[in-house]
Structure 1
Amino acid sequence: MKKSKRKPQGATRTTAIEQKPRKPVAEILHWPLKLLKVTAVVGVLAVLVLGGQRLLDGLDQPITGVEVSGQLKQLDETVIASWVQQQITEGVLLTDLNSLQVQLQARPWVARVAVRRKWPGLLHVSLQEHVPVARWNERALLTAQGLVFEPEQLPVMQGAPLLKGSDSSSREVLREFAKLQAELAELNFKVVALEKSERGTWLAQLMTAESLAAAETKQPALIEVALGKQELAERLERFKSLYYSVLKAKLNEIERVDLRYTNGVAVQWKAPVTVS
């Protein structure tokens, strides 16, 4: 028989327990501290927002008046100031000045506009008007820069020329008018009208200084001059030569001069007036 081995009496079996390392205190407090910081920042921002709003409310004073300045002939300062006042829905700080400027700039007579704040509670509107130098297509006006603008009511412009053409040709027509007027000034002519047709042909109406002076008391005598499309300078020289040799002595009898011919000129005379 096999003898069983006995465990020694009094002996105990010990099992080692592995201990986990403790987290540092800083790591344990990381998220609570971070949350505390975020809460503090949010609180500070809330205070700043509320304080800023109160400051903004304090600075945004009601607009008590509108000033309008500029050398105005067609625009009415009172009408402009009243219109601006009607558009105001905010205080002096929050009013959209750019929107006011855009709307004022869209008015026909306004060339330039600037709107600024004037503390404590005013708006100042500075205006510059368009200055027309000619009538355009009998419905609009033309500035010295060739800009077409169309006011609701055309003013009386005594002595202003009538220029015609497509709106895209306004600058070209104005340039040709200036050239033609300069060339004919020595002949004592005034260009009262100039038109560029859709086909590109030029037609001018001339008036002598004597006829212009008498225009207030009687029907002015106009001479129509057809210049054609090309070689305008050469054709104008031909007209000047003919003026000194033939036309000068018979200006009151001329109805139309056609310069569109290559080597000649056609003159249409007025019908003789018969006295019964």
Structure 2
Amino acid sequence: MVFIFVIAGFIYGGLQVKQWLEDEQQLPVQKIIFSGARTVLDDQQMEALIRQNQKGSFFALDVNEVYELLEDMPWVYRASVRKRWPNSLHIYVVEQEPVAIWNDDLLLNTQGDIFDGGDPKQKLPLLFGPGGSEKTALAGFNAMQSLLSTTGLTINELFLSERFAWRVELSNGIRLNIGRQQFIARLQNFIDIFPLLQAQNKAINYIDLRYDIGLAVGWQKNDKKEQEITENND
């Protein structure tokens, strides 16, 4: 009988200790410390979200749940969460780095992943394409932009069709119809001949590069287009 009372006492004492440890008033999380480069994410907003969903003590706080809360935020790319005795929570966040606007309503990060980050603070190129082609479109954009870096031109808009044909609009307003095949070689052809076209002292509307030899130029003149074509379209 005495043994039973002893066991019951241990159980009761253990429950009391557990309740004390989980009591926020006894052992609260006093400090939530954020680190990592942040330009959009707001520390106060993240802390409020954590405290609203994790109201227990330091011991009761679930770091996995905090991790999931943070990674559900659109602008959080990665997060790590650690408790530090006796009363602090340390969080390292990697913020999304947007590089383009995708189909007018989502953002693309450097990995080609889409996220709903609202209106970006900085001006970004516009990329358009069928669903699931985000990584292909971004890879094409990066390759073409790298090639154009020697010209001082940038890509304002890029279009990838259902048949994976490329069209771009450059920062000087010229539209390039590149097509599906050998898009890097065709863009290099444009770069090689562009100084000669500039020497014509005419405003260019578009250039069609989908030719085995040569290209087609649409000139702007009195709101009408004049077109010069060499060879056959492939």
With normalisation by structure 2, the TM-score equals 0.81
Q: Deviations over 1:3-61 (max 9, x none)?
A: xxxxxxxxxxxxxxxxxxxxxxxxxxxxxxxxx9xx95x76654543333233234335
* Higher mean displacement: 130-139 or 231-240: 231-240
- Residues 2-21 of structure 1 aligned to structure 2 (within 5 Å): none
- Residues 122-141 of structure 1 aligned to structure 2 (within 5 Å): 122-141=88-107
More helix by share: 1
Say which structure, 1 or 2, has more relative contact order (CA 8 Å, 6+ apart): 2
2:179 equivalent in structure 1 = 228
RMSD: 2.6
- Pair 87,261 (structure 1): closer, same or farther in 2 beyond 3 Å: same
- How far apart, CA to CA, are the structure 1 residues paired with 2:159 and 2:15? 62
Q: Is the 8 A contact 1:66 1:85 kept in 2?
A: no
| Residue 240 of structure 1, aligned match among 167, 191, 208 | 191
Q: Is the 8 A contact 1:61 1:120 kept in 2?
A: no
Task: Report SS of the residue matched to 2:132.
Answer: helix
Is 1:175 aligned to 2:139, yes or no? yes
**Displacement after TM superposition at 1:251 (Å):** 6.8
**Displacement after TM superposition at 1:234 (Å):** 2.8
- How far apart, CA to CA, are the structure 2 residues paired with 1:120 and 1:186? 56
Q: Deviations over 1:184-225 (max 9, x none)?
A: 222332222222112211001112xxxxxxxxxxxxx40000
**Displacement after TM superposition at 1:247 (Å):** 1.1
* Matched residue type, 2:17: L
1:50 equivalent in structure 2 = 12
- Residues 99-178 of structure 1 aligned to structure 2 (within 5 Å): 99-151=65-117, 153-158=118-123, 160-178=124-142
- Pair 43,230 (structure 1): closer, same or farther in 2 beyond 3 Å: farther
2:165 equivalent in structure 1 = 201
- How far apart, CA to CA, are the structure 2 residues paired with 1:192 and 1:77? 33
Task: Report SS of the residue matched to 1:102.
Answer: helix
Count of aligned pairs between the two proteins = 220
- Pair 271,131 (structure 1): closer, same or farther in 2 beyond 3 Å: same
How many percent of aligned residue pairs carry the same amino acid? 30
Is 1:87 aligned to 2:17, yes or no? no
Task: Report SS of the residue matched to 2:145.
Answer: helix
More strand by share: 2
| Residue 270 of structure 1, aligned match among 204, 211, 220 | 220
Larger Rg: 1
- Pair 66,197 (structure 1): closer, same or farther in 2 beyond 3 Å: farther
With normalisation by structure 1, the TM-score equals 0.70
Structure 2 alignment gaps of length 5 or more = 224-234
Q: Deviations over 1:107-145 (max 9, x none)?
A: 100112233333334433332211112222221221111
